[in-house]
Structure formats: structure tokens, C-alpha cells
DNA sequence: CAGTGAGCGAGCTTCCGCTTGACTT
């Protein structure tokens, strides 16, 4: 429904989001016109930092290009109404938006009111209108300090990298710590030394009262460090009489998780639906714009009273009173500002929704999580059975769980913390009935060599969780930050194939021990974040010269300052000055004293020519160099070769680097024309008769490929056209 | 579609946090 002439209204309400504006307009009477500012309308100018450092860090704000039109319209409307209601979010950034609007639209105290609400419900909006206040200038100043600090750090640090590492690179309070996390995790993995031990499991036959026999799995309570110990144990088990030595039953309670925030939604959508964080946000945006869910960029786990009422009706109506338990959740995350509700369906009596498949799936996930958060605990009984044999000191343990009341599990299965793991717990089912003293025959006892797990590489969603734990970044920046570090070439999201690993396997059956060598695939990765060479070199540089900025608690420390500013206890530009004086000196000193950092490594000498072999970051990325450049015309110029996919400055060996200079390589003649293999701008290729055939990664290695195989590829290409 | 890597210097790059579309293949 189009509004009547917009000039006739007496009140103009300005919120941040247009979807929000539409909803709110319905709650307010005809006297109110509701418009959106589309977020911030101004930002620091680009040139000269946008800050007059000598003049108390006076910010120079300009209306952003894409907001000129918005500001023009708001200005016009503001003039035509009696009262302008600034209704941006109640957090640091929202308060600043209100202040920028006030300033830029030329408002006055007489015609302006500041209102806030944390949920988009009729009662919350009407209540806000009843209780206007003034703009909180201390909170605005805290935001200015935040903005100025980020600009100073980003715009002073990035140029240092341009001079010392490579042009166009970037550094910042958030992105540089993000890269650090990934680099350090990669090095932990590289340094990790897996240790093996033997895990022993057994299958016992349990005879029921009616004579039926069922199988029961049990695990030995101890792992053995060596094959010898394992064999000694299995020998002891030969002919041993196993008995049930103990049965304990313990009640177990499971509690639902809090409703979704941006970060937890990204994590669950990644685990259960395989979405990237960017994908989750754009699908959620669609649902939000269609009015199907509440705002998707939030750090709050709170639900509006109206939502609790809807949940209560839905749960009691469909599942019964005993499934209902209304709960209030508290946020645990550092620096949460809770300007919004948790992410929930706008109407809780709709378990499904129309739309694309992705929208349907994400919506259902949100619906289930929201409903489950207001449901009863699940009650389980956990049974643990101990099994022992005379003369054997170690014992087996079998455990089972029985659900006595499913509670919230009826709608929502929480996924485990393990990344990549999908829903469901261990295969703990029901145990067959038994009594202490019962004799059990073993069907089989197996021992399998197992390795300790290396630390897990970050997925996008796991990285977001880590950042949130450290209080770094905000709901609106998690997805963009992950794009930035990839766009800068610091991080890549990749698949890695696993490697084969041999392990020992022993089995005791019919009192005989069998031993076998088996193999497994280990270390395969899908959609995980890896640091690039540039990422590592930049991180090492920052760690050496700016450890304070890339420290994990830098953000937490400055946040404490911002809090003080927002309480009016300290003056914002004095706080910035204290930081900037020493930081700027640090920048100057680094520019003067630090060497160019290209991650250069001397691998040794080429045995054929005696020339040195080095690897470093060149203009076009990581490369190897054979020989040194020299002023002397007599001396041969050095040779260069790019590193291949999967090769890294830190780990490449002399032999691998030397082989890179074998390219381009003559394979021989085919149809009287030369066949040459090399690496070009677009990767490895085979050239024949002026035509190129690309080699697929992981299929053909340019260093290994033979003439026969190359001919196959050439012929295949000929046929395909 | 199929290398490049010296050194100089012009002119450019760059931050974080609020919001949506606007562009196509």
C-alpha cells in the first residue's frame, strides 16, 4: 500500500534498515512516515587519513557516495515534518548514526527526538515513542574513538607493508589477527608429532533370560603404548572368564542451546547445511527482507515476550504442556552490544516456509532452534557396565543411554563441537539386560593402532567462533572479514587430499591372535582455511615489529578504553593521543630499521652448477631463484621459476626447488613436431604444434609426465573440438 | 590465454562497521 502524500505527515522516523522501516510503519499511525538511513551515512574522508591529527584528531566526515541520494531525500523530508525521531540501534554505532543524521540533516534539539528499542514489536515501538531521550554524546565519542583508531592503524600499517613486503597489501586491527590465527594453527599442525597407541575394543555375547543372545560392544579402559604390551594383554585374554563386575546407572540431563546469534547461526548452517558464512548471511538476508525472520546481524540471545508467548502456544498446542519450559538466556560473548533480538522466525507457528531450497532449509533450522530453546530438558539414563576377567587387571567398559523423556530433542538435535562432524552423538544405544556376576563370552577382541589427532584447521565458521570468543569483529563484519583475508591473498579456502598411513591391527578370535598391517587415509580436508606464503610473511613481519597490534587482546584492551569513554570517564581524543604517539613512533622506526621481508630462504647449492638456490616472494608471488644477480656482465643471469601449487616457502626442499628449473622440458617428437611441457600463467601445460593443453591439478605432474601420456592429452583435446 | 623477477618513479593500493542493491556471465 502506497502512503498518501509524504508531505502531510507530522513525524519522520529514521531507522537503519528499510525492511525494519516497513514493519514499524504498520505499528505507528498515519501521522508517522518511516524511512531508512541504510546504515552509516558518513565516513572519514579518504585523503589525509580523514583526520586532522595536529588538531586533536578532528575527524573530517564526508557523506559516502552511495548515501548522497538518501541524505538528500531525508533532508527534504526532515524540513517538512514537525518532529524527526532518530531510531537507529541502541549501540555505539547506532548512536553515532543518530548523531551524524542530526548533524548532516541540520536538525535542532526542538524538532528532534532520539528513541530506541531492542525488538520490532508493536509494544516495544509504542513504548519507545513514549520515552524519547537525547543523543548520548559520550557513546558517540566512543564510536568516534573506535573509528579513528581503526583508520590510524589501518592507514599507517598498510603502507609499511607496501614498502617492506609487497604493494597493495593491508593490515588492520581485525584482519591481521584473523590471519595470525590461521598462520599459527598451520604451524602447530606442521610441528605436530602424532603419537600412536592401541585402542582395544571387544564384542561380548550376552545371553538374555529367554535364551536369546545379543552382542554388546565394550572398550578397554586403558590404551597401550606399544604393540608388545597389546600382545601381552591379548594373550592374557585367551580363555579368560569375563564377568560383569559392576553396573551403575546415572541420570543424565540435556539442555537446549540458546537461540541463534549471527555467529552460532553461521556455525550450525556450516555444520548441518554445509553453507559458507557468506552464503548463510545472504540467504538470511532474503528471509529477513521477506519478513520471515528477525534481523540476522545480532549478538543477542534474547527473545521478545511476544515470541515467548508464540513459542509457548506452539509447544503446548502441538506437543503438550510437559514439553514447555520458558527460558531466558544470557549472552556470554565479550563485547556484545545486544541492540537486537536473537535470530528467530517472526511467526513461530510456521515450521516451514516457501522460497528457495536454501531459504527453506535455513528457515527450518532457525525455527527448530528457537522452539527447542523454550522446551524442557531431555532426561536420559546412562548405564555403565564394567567387565573383568580373573587374572587380568585391565577392565572393559560398555555404556548405553536410554532416553526417558525426549524434551527438546524432539525437534532439535544439537551437532557436536567437532568441526565437520554431523549431528548425533556416539553410538550409545540401549544395553541388553544384565546382572552383576553374569558370565560373558567374548566374540572377538580387537586392537587397533590409533594416532593422536593434529589440531584442526579452521573452517570459516570455526574461525568466526574463535573471533567471537576473542571479542574481535562484529556480527556485521564476520563474513566480510573472511572475504578480505582471502581477497588479499593471505588465506585460501581449499580441499587437500589425505595421505595413506599404515597401522597395526590385532584381533583375538577363538583364542587365536591374528595380526595385520592395514592402511587408512588421513589428513584429508574440505573447505578449510590455509595461510598462503604472503600471509605467513606478512604475519611474521607484523609479529616482529607490531606485536602489540596483532596481540590477541589488543581489541579487548581498546574496548575497555571505549567503555570508559562511553561512560564519560575519559576524553576520547586524549585516549587516542596516548595510543597514537607511541604507535606512530613504532611505524617510523620500523620504516627506518626493518629489512625488506620477502620470506627469503637459502636452500643450499645446486650440485650441478654450484650456484645458490633461494626461494622468496617476488613481484608475482612465491618463486625460486638459481644463481645470484650481479653487476658483472660476465656472470650469467639468475634463473627464476614460480613455486607450484602446494609448494611453500617454509617447507620446500632443495631437491624440489632444483627440479622446478627442469621446466620447460622437451618430451620428444610427435608427428615430427616438438612436445614441450612447462608452467605458464594459467598453470602447467603441454605444447605441441603451437597448441596448448592444460594439465589438470592432481592428475598430471609437469615434472613427471612422459611423452606417451602427453600424446594422449593432445589427441583428446583434438577430438573434443 | 601460455611469463614474469634489476632499479627508478609516477600514481595507486589500505582500515572497521552500519546498511542494501547494482552490475553482469
What's the CA gap between A34 and A87, in Å, rounded? 10
Cell numbers 520490532 correspond to A120
10-residue mean pLDDT series, chain A (721 residues): 55 97 92 97 95 97 95 96 97 98 97 95 95 97 98 96 90 98 96 96 90 92 96 94 96 97 97 96 97 97 97 98 97 88 97 96 98 98 95 93 95 64 50 92 96 96 98 97 94 92 96 95 94 95 97 98 98 98 96 87 88 86 83 73 85 90 84 84 81 79 83 81 61
Name the nt closest to A472 by C-alpha to C1'.
B16
Does the active-site annotation cover A295? yes
What's the CA gap between A503 and A448, in Å, rounded? 8
In angstroms, the CA of A277 and the C1' of B24 are apart by 24
Q: What are phi and psi of A451, to 5 degrees?
A: -105, 145
Name the nt closest to A475 by C-alpha to C1'.
B17
CB-based burial of residue A280 (10 Å sphere; 0-12 exposed, 13-18 middle, 19+ buried)? buried
Q: Crossing angle, helix A277-289 and helix A460-470, to 10 degrees?
A: 80
What's the CA gap between A347 and A328, in Å, rounded? 19
Closest residue to B4 measured CA to C1′? A620
For each of the domains in chain A, give its residue range(s) and CATH number, in order of start: 2-135 (3.40.50.140), 146-192+458-502+527-597 (1.10.460.10), 196-255+382-453 (2.70.20.10), 262-376 (1.10.290.10), 601-644 (no CATH), 665-720 (no CATH)
A215's CB contacts (< 8 A; 6+ apart) are A203, A204, A205, A206, A443
Name which of A100, A85, A83, A84 is nearest A139 in CA terms.
A100
Cβ pair A141, A112 in contact under 8 A: no
In angstroms, the CA of A229 and the C1' of B20 are apart by 65
Q: Select which of A57, A288, A295, A545 is catalytic.
A: A295
3-state SS track over A240-279: CCEEEEEEEEEEEEECCCCCECHHHHHHHHHHHHCCCHHH
Name the nt closest to A474 by C-alpha to C1'.
B17
Name the nt closest to A89 by C-alpha to C1'.
B18
What's the CA gap between A653 and A604, in Å, rounded? 9
- Hey, is A120 helix, strand or coil? coil
In angstroms, the CA of A600 and the C1' of B18 are apart by 41
C-alpha cell at A27: 505499528
What's the CA gap between A528 and A189, in Å, rounded? 13
Q: State the alpha helices, DSSP H only, in A293-391.
A: 305-318, 357-372
C-alpha cell at A667: 618430451
Name the nt closest to A477 by C-alpha to C1'.
B17
In angstroms, the CA of A522 and the C1' of B17 are apart by 41
Q: What are phi and psi of A481, to 5 degrees?
A: -60, -40
Q: Which nucleotides of B are covered by protein (CB under 7 A)?
A: 1-6, 11-21
Closest residue to B1 measured CA to C1′? A682
Q: Crossing angle, helix A175-191 and helix A478-487, to 10 degrees?
A: 70
pLDDT for the residue A427 = 56
Partnered with residue A612 across adjacent β-strands are A605
In angstroms, the CA of A379 and the C1' of B14 are apart by 55
pLDDT for the residue A346 = 97
Cβ pair A42, A63 in contact under 8 A: yes
A126's CB contacts (< 8 A; 6+ apart) are A27
pLDDT for A389-403, tens place per residue?
988 899 999 999 999
Name the nt closest to A170 by C-alpha to C1'.
B14
What's the CA gap between A718 and A136, in Å, rounded? 72
Closest residue to B6 measured CA to C1′? A629
Name the nt closest to A47 by C-alpha to C1'.
B14
What's the CA gap between A204 and A605, in Å, rounded? 62
In angstroms, the CA of A197 and the C1' of B14 are apart by 50
Cis amide prior to A108 (ω within 30 degrees): no
In angstroms, the CA of A597 and the C1' of B3 are apart by 24
In angstroms, the CA of A654 and the C1' of B6 are apart by 25
What's the CA gap between A124 and A294, in Å, rounded? 14
In angstroms, the CA of A399 and the C1' of B21 are apart by 55
Amino acid at each position: 500500500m502506497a502512503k498518501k502524500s509524504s508531505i502531510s505527515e507530522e513525524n519522520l522516523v529514521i531507522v537503519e534498515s528499510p525492511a525494519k522501516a516497513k514493519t514499524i510503519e504498520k505499528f505507528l499511525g498515519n501521522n508517522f512516515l518511516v524511512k531508512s538511513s541504510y546504515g552509516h551515512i558518513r565516513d572519514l574522508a579518504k585523503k589525509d587519513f580523514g583526520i586532522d591529527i595536529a588538531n586533536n584528531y578532528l575527524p573530517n566526515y564526508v557523506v559516502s557516495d552511495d548515501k548522497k541520494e538518501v541524505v538528500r531525500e531525508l533532508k527534504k523530508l526532515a524540513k517538512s515534518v514537525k518532529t524527526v525521531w532518530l531510531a537507529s540501534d541502541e549501540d555505539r554505532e547506532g548512536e553515532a548514526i543518530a548523531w551524524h543524521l542530526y548533524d548532516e540533516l541540520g536538525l535542532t534539539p526542538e524538532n528532534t527526538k532520539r528513541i530506541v528499542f531492542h525488538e520490532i514489536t508493536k509494544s516495544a515501538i509504542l513504548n519507545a515513542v513514549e520515552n524519547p531521550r537525547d543523543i548520548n554524546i559520550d557513546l558517540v565519542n566512543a564510536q568516534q574513538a573506535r573509528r579513528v583508531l581503526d583508520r590510524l592503524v589501518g592507514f599507517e600499517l598498510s603502507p609499511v607493508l607496501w614498502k617492506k613486503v609487497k604493494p597493495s597489501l593491508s593490515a588492520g586491527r581485525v584482519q591481521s589477527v584473523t590471519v595470525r590465527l590461521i598462520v599459527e594453527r598451520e604451524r602447530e599442525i606442521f610441528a605436530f608429532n602424532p603419537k600412536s597407541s592401541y585402542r582395544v575394543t571387544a564384542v561380548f555375547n550376552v545371553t538374555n533370560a529367554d535364551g536369546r543372545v545379543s552382542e554388546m560392544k565394550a572398550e578397554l579402559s586403558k590404551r597401550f603404548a606399544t604393540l608388545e604390551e597389546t600382545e601381552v594383554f591379548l594373550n592374557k585374554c585367551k580363555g579368560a572368564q569375563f564377568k560383569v563386575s559392576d553396573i551403575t546407572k546415572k541420570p543424565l540431563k540435556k539442555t537446549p542451546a540458546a537461540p541463534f546469534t549471527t555467529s552460532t547461526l553461521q556455525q550450525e548452517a556450516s555444520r548441518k547445511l554445509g553453507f559458507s558464512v557468506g552464503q548463510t548471511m545472504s540467504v538470511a538476508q532474503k528471509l529477513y527482507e521477506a519478513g520471515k525472520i528477525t534481523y540476522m546481524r545480532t549478538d543477542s540471545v534474547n527473545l521478545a515476550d511476544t515470541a515467548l508467548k508464540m513459542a509457548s502456544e506452539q509447544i503446548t498446542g502441538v506437543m503438550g504442556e510437559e514439553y514447555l519450559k520458558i527460558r531466558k538466556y544470557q549472552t556470554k560473548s565479550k563485547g556484545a552490544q545486544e541492540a537486537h533480538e536473537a535470530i528467530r522466525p517472526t511467526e513461530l507457528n510456521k515450521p516451514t516456509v516457501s522460497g528457495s531450497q536454501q531459504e527453506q532449509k535455513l528457515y527450518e533450522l532457525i525455527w527448530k532452534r528457537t522452539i527447542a530453546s523454550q522446551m524442557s530438558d531431555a532426561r536420559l539414563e546412562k548405564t555403565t557396565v564394567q567387565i573383568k576377567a580373573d587374572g587380568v587387571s585391565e577392565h572393559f567398559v560398555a555404556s548405553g543411554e536410554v532416553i526417558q523423556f525426549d524434551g527438546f530433542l524432539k525437534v532439535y538435535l544439537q551437532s557436536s563441537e567437532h568441526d565437520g562432524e554431523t549431528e548425533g552423538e556416539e553410538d550409545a544405544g540401549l544395553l541388553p539386560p544384565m546382572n552383576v556376576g553374569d558370565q560373558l563370552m567374548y566374540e572377538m577382541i580387537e586392537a587397533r593402532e590409533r594416532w593422536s589427532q593434529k589440531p584442526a584447521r579452521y573452517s570459516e565458521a570455526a574461525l568466526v567462533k574463535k573471533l567471537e570468543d576473542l571479542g574481535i569483529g562484529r556480527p556485521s563484519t564476520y563474513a566480510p572479514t573472511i572475504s578480505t583475508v582471502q581477497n588479499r591473498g593471505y588465506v585460501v579456502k581449499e580441499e587437500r587430499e589425505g595421505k595413506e598411513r599404515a597401522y597395526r591391527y590385532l584381533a583375538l578370535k577363538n583364542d587365536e591372535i591374528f595380526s595385520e598391517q592395514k592402511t587408512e587415509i588421513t589428513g584429508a580436508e574440505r573447505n578449510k582455511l590455509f595461510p598462503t606464503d604472503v600471509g605467513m610473511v606478512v604475519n611474521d613481519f607484523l609479529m616482529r615489529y607490531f606485536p602489540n597490534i596483532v596481540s590477541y587482546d589488543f581489541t579487548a584492551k581498546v574496548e575497555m578504553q571505549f567503555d570508559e569513554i562511553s561512560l564519560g570517564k575519559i576524553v576520547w581524543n586524549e585516549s587516542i593521543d596516548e595510543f597514537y604517539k607511541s604507535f606512530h613512533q613504532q611505524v617510523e622506526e620500523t620504516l627506518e630499521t626493518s629489512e625488506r621481508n620477502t620470506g627469503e630462504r637459502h636452500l643450499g647449492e645446486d650440485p650441478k652448477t654450484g650456484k645458490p638456490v633461494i626461494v622468496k616472494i617476488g613481484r608475482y608471488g612465491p618463486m625460486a631463484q638459481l644463481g645470484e644477480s650481479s653487476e658483472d656482465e660476465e656472470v650469467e643471469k639468475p634463473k627464476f621459476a614460480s613455486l607450484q601449487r602446494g609448494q611453500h616457502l617454509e617447507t620446500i626442499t632443495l631437491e624440489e626447488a632444483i627440479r622446478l628449473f627442469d621446466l620447460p622440458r622437451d618430451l620428444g617428437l610427435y608427428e615430427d613436431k616438438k612436445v614441450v611441457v612447462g608452467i605458464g600463467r594459467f598453470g602447467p601445460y603441454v605444447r605441441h604444434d603451437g597448441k596448448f593443453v592444460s594439465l589438470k591439478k592432481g592428475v598430471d605432474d609437469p615434472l613427471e609426465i612422459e611423452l606417451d601420456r602427453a600424446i594422449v592429452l593432445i589427441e583428446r583435446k583434438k577430438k573434443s573440438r
